[in-house]
Amino acid sequence: SKVLLTGGTGFIASHILDHLLKCGFDVVVTARSQAKGERILASIANAPNVINSIGCKVTYAVVDNIAQPGAFDEAITTNLPLDYCIHTASPYQLSFSDPLNDCLLPAVNGTISLLSSLHQHASPFLSRVVFTSSSAAILNPPHHRDVYDESSWPDDEVLNWDMAKDPASAPGDATYRASKKFAEQAAWKFMEEHRPSWDLATINNTYTFGPLPRSLEVVRGGTGGEDVQVKVNTSNERIVDCLTGKWAEEIPPTAPVFTFVDVRDVAVAHVRAMTRPEAGGKRFYVVGGYFSNARIAGIVHGLLDKKGEKEEEKDLAEMLCGDCLMYNDFPDNHWSFDNTRSKEVLGLEYRELSQSVVDTVRSLRAMGIGK
């Protein structure tokens, strides 16, 4: 079976690609340039362990801006028949100089144009589209619900298009959060209006940590090649900041309560949501647990303290998770999450924060970031 995976250079997409290959799918990834597409192919060639014995085929198609009308037409028509599509491509930054053109339109119009193009060209074979939405399309800060699950959406009073276009009048990341809310709503509306022969599932993952993509561009400068420049995805940035000493003076406060999930669990969620018949037509709130910056710092510092000693790979996470996860840094009666559907329908078993942070740190160090 063949899968179209959009945003192939992305952090989450890179792990979805690995999992698709392990499961024996052929994959067409979209990338914004030929150079990026080639980098993805090279990263796979250099990691033969991700390809299963069936020998899956990976190709790429260039889609440089998903906001352009018909952006996906060529990628789709030249790769038929397609059995599935996973749509991860979307701008993810905490602020945008041009919120409408840099974030909202690519997120919303990109989703609609992908679905329209699939409807028009890929329908006879396609069975499902999985859309990477976000917990941003579930949570309702600052007026939190007691317990969040898939039935929740942010109220219009707390997150609307006007705020998203003019983030000066709204909390910091309102543009990004609104882009996810409106893109997911547009996707469900498309399904209702057009009733295609295939169905839709969404993965509403929360803040995602985990190892960096192998295809990331690493630029080395300096005489000894010691200056390393890597564009790390937004959600891993706080682990980079901690590891590189930006929190040495003070650990920045986290929102009172925040949740995380490991990227490898998010990848499994996408692939199972794609293939399990009972996942069709459903949203999945994919969340592994709570975190705070203090808890991350505890894990990272535990890891740094162990530097020089012989690290027993197997026991590392266990060794670190003791004290640092005991911090009681959340307010009493904070909101909680219900991830039952993701466990029951997708069979997810979530990794712990310590495992996720430790593996992220290892991957950052392998790229030359942090000591």
Residue ranges that bind ligand NDP, judged by CB under 6 A: 7, 9-13, 32, 36, 63, 65-67, 88-92, 106, 132, 134, 180, 205, 207-208, 233, 235
* Integer Cα distance of 110 and 68 in angstroms: 7
Q: Residue 41 CB, nearest distance to ligand NDP (Å)?
A: 15
Query: Is the CB of 302 or the CB of 339 nearer to ligand NDP?
Result: 339
Question: Closest CB to ligand NDP among 134 and 354?
Answer: 134
Residue 308, token pair as written in the block? 């020089």
Q: Of 125 and 258, which CB lies nearer to ligand NDP in the complex structure?
A: 258
Between CA 191 and CA 178 the distance in angstroms is 20
**Rounded distance, CA 5 to CA 14, Å?**
10
Which residue has the CB atom at the shortest distance from ligand NDP? Answer: 10
- Closest to ligand NDP by CB, 38 vs 323, is 38
CA-closest candidate to residue 285, choices 348, 237, 335: 348
Question: In angstroms, what is the minimal distance from the CB of 303 to ligand NDP?
Answer: 21
C-beta of 316 vs 351, nearer to ligand NDP? 351
> Which CB, 99 or 302, lies closer to ligand NDP?
99
Pairing verdict, β 227-230 and 218-221: antiparallel
List, edge to edge, every strand of the sheet that includes 199-205.
58-62, 26-31, 2-6, 84-87, 128-132, 199-205, 283-286
Quote the least distance from Cβ 224 to ligand NDP, whole Å: 28
Closest Cα partner for 172 from 130, 128, 142, 131?
A: 142
Identity of the residue, 43 or 88, whose beta carbon is nearer to ligand NDP in the bound complex? 88
Nearest to 204 by CA among 339, 19, 107, 103: 339
C-alpha distances in angstroms, 297 versus 79, 212, 293, 323, 359? 45, 19, 6, 12, 14
Tokens of 197: 């022969």
Write the DSSP string, 279-316. GTT-EEEE--EEE-HHHHHHHHHHHHHTTTSPP-GGGH
Shortest Å distance, C-beta 89 to ligand NDP:
4
Q: Least CB distance from residue 269 to ligand NDP, whole Å?
A: 11
State in angstroms the smallest separation of the CB of 233 from ligand NDP.
4
Select from 155, 117, 160 the least CA-distant residue to 138.
Answer: 155
Q: Which is nearer to ligand NDP, 91 or 196 (CB)?
A: 91
The total of other beta-carbon atoms located within 10 Å of residue 23's CB is 17
Rounded-to-integer distance, Cα 19 and Cα 264, Å: 8
Shortest distance in whole angstroms from residue 106 CB to ligand NDP = 4
State the minimum distance, in angstroms, from the CB of residue 55 to ligand NDP.
25
Which residue reads 């491509």 in tokens?
89
> How big is the chain by its Cα radius of gyration, in Å?
20
Nearest approach in angstroms of CB 182 to ligand NDP is 12
Q: Which is nearer to ligand NDP, 8 or 196 (CB)?
A: 8
For residues 2 and 87, which CB has a smaller minimum distance to ligand NDP in the complex?
87
| Min separation Cβ 322 and ligand NDP, Å | 26
